[in-house]
Amino acid sequence: MLSRLFKIVRWLFFLGIIGCLLPFVWRFLIVLAYGRHTATPEQVSPARVALVFGGGIHGNGQPSDVLRDRLDVAIELYKSGKVERLLLSGDNSFENYNEPGVMLNYARDNGVPFEHIQPDYGGRRTYDSCYRAKHIFGLDEAILVTQEFHMSRALFLCRWMGIDAAGVTSDQQSYVRIRWFQLREVPATGQALLDLIRNNPAPVMGQPIVID
């Protein structure tokens, strides 16, 4: 009886270890598979639209360091002629939290014409941003702008949704919370797989919007 109980406990222990390791293995495979789709602003092939992901705003209405760097790189792509339009996708699910509005104002204040900016107010998560880029804004190709820690997951989601996406990383500095960002990507990348398999939770939808 004790011998059988010991075997059960041992197998449960091994299964627990495997369960803990699987998200890290999946994350490693995604980074390995999609890292080849990134390039520098100078090397990336032109595309009509750059998709910029939200990255947090401060209480004073200013973009976080992470978000500001994403916007700066996207603005550089626009001014160098690599893209013609910016799709700024962020969270606007709370009354006093409007990422796309802050992103739009920042891009406009830094030389991008208002008519060349398309805010996406339904980009609560990376999954939503990619889904809406394809099904609301009709993108078949795009340049994704985000930091390296987030890029592989963004490319994985967008490419699996039918967007021919390339990535330009926006790591312009050392971030105070970089270890936390990197660690958070492990469960987030696993969740991205579940989202694609189950299509749950459903993305924020709406009427199609043509990016002129």
Domain that holds residue 110: 2-198
Pairwise CA distance, residues 198 & 145, whole Å: 26
Q: What was the pLDDT predicted at 9?
A: 56
Q: Specify if 209 maps to a domain.
A: no
* Helices and strands (H and E) in the chain: how many: 6, 6
Residue 205 maps to a domain: no
> What pLDDT digit, counting tens, does each position of 7-50 carry?
555 555 455 555 555 667 768 788 888 888 999 999 999 999 99
More confident residue, 203 or 111: 111
The Cα 105–Cα 199 span in angstroms is: 32
Stretch 150-160: mean pLDDT: 95
Token pair, residue 165, equals 């996406």
Number of domains the chain contains: 1
Question: Is residue 179 in a domain?
Answer: yes
pLDDT digits (tens, 9 = 90+) for 39-90: 999 999 999 999 999 999 988 889 999 999 999 999 999 999 999 999 999 9
Specify whether the CB–CB gap between 132 and 123 falls below 8 A: yes
Does the residue 8 lie in any domain?
A: yes
Instruction: Find tokens 């009354």 and name the residue.
Output: 95
Residue 204 domain flag: no
pLDDT digits 0-9 by tens, 99-111: 999 999 999 999 9
Which has more pLDDT, 159 or 1?
Answer: 159
- Longest CA–CA separation in the chain, Å: 76
CATH number for the domain that contains residue 173: 3.40.50.620
- Record the tokens describing residue 60, joined without a space: 């004073």
- pTM, 2 dp: 0.89
CA atoms within 13 A on the CB side of 111: 10
Average pLDDT over residues 190-194: 86
Task: Please give the pLDDT value at position 82.
Answer: 97
Residue 91 lies in a domain: yes
In-domain check, residue 167 = yes
On the 0-12 / 13-18 / 19+ scale of CB atoms within 10 A, 5 is exposed
Q: What stretch of H or E contains 87? A: strand 85-89
Q: How does strand 49-53 pair with strand 164-169?
A: unpaired
Mean pLDDT, the chain, rounded, equals: 87
Query: What DSSP line would sit under 53-64, residue for residue?
Result: E---B-TTSPBP
In terms of average pLDDT, the best of 101-115, 165-179, 187-201 is 101-115
- Residue 211, domain member (yes or no): no
- Give the pLDDT band (50/70/90) at residue 6: low
